[in-house]
Structure 1
């Protein structure tokens, strides 16, 4: 399957996040997306870190931005391309390095994983 242009996708992704525009980020995701993150596990322990569906992901990200990470800002370090996969390596507002692993079904993300250094 084709993978979106890595640089163009990462630029749209980081611009949407830095504008805190959750709907612009979600425009790249399937309705039945599955997303995992240790941040989700910390903020919403009942999820065990796995968010299922676009509406639930909207709630998680909107709540996280408003209540827990109002100063969120990302800087893309690099982007890696695989078959139907992109990894966006970025630095967050705390200086931490993060990888966002995105698996595509067509032009939209079907599965995503936020991964952090220990």
Structure 2
């Protein structure tokens, strides 16, 4: 993946999240995805989410709790098969989403918060 592809991916990722359409968001993710987030502990009781079905459960509840969720991409970096999307959320907090892709789908990722 090059920087132009990563920027296109990040713009699409942002639009999908801001639509709050979880089916659209999840199209980016592989069935066997592993995702880690410190916020998952509060929402589903674990910091590691395994599989698209579990990710759907986590994010369904997350969107229910954060109905004003909104992301604004600030910058994008790329390294081989990994994209780092630096964005601000609805509270203005700076977050980095680190996503590793295989065959065009996210297979692993995590959020890093300031």
Q: Do they superpose with TM above 0.5?
A: yes
Of 98, 102, 113, 2:99 maps to 102
> Which residue of structure 1 lines up, in the alignment, with residue 40 of structure 2?
40
Q: Residues 72-105 of structure 1, C-alpha deviation per residue, up to 9 Å, x if partnerless?
A: 0000000101110000000000110000000111
The structural deviation recorded for 1:44 is 1.8
Q: Residues 35-69 of structure 1, C-alpha deviation per residue, up to 9 Å, x if partnerless?
A: 00011112222x2x100000110111011101x11
Whole-angstrom CA distance in 2 between matches of 1:31 and 1:87:
21
The structural deviation recorded for 1:106 is 1.8
Whole-angstrom CA distance in 2 between matches of 1:105 and 1:96:
29
Matched position secondary structure for 1:5: helix
Whole-angstrom CA distance in 2 between matches of 1:43 and 1:27:
22
Task: Indicate the RMSD between aligned Cα atoms, in angstroms.
Answer: 1.2
> Which residue of structure 2 lines up, in the alignment, with residue 54 of structure 1?
52
Q: Between Structure 1 and Structure 2, how many residues are aligned?
A: 113
The structural deviation recorded for 1:70 is 0.6
Q: TM-score, structure 1 length as denominator? A: 0.91
Whole-angstrom CA distance in 1 between matches of 2:7 and 2:21:
19
Show structure 2 runs of 5+ residues with no match: none
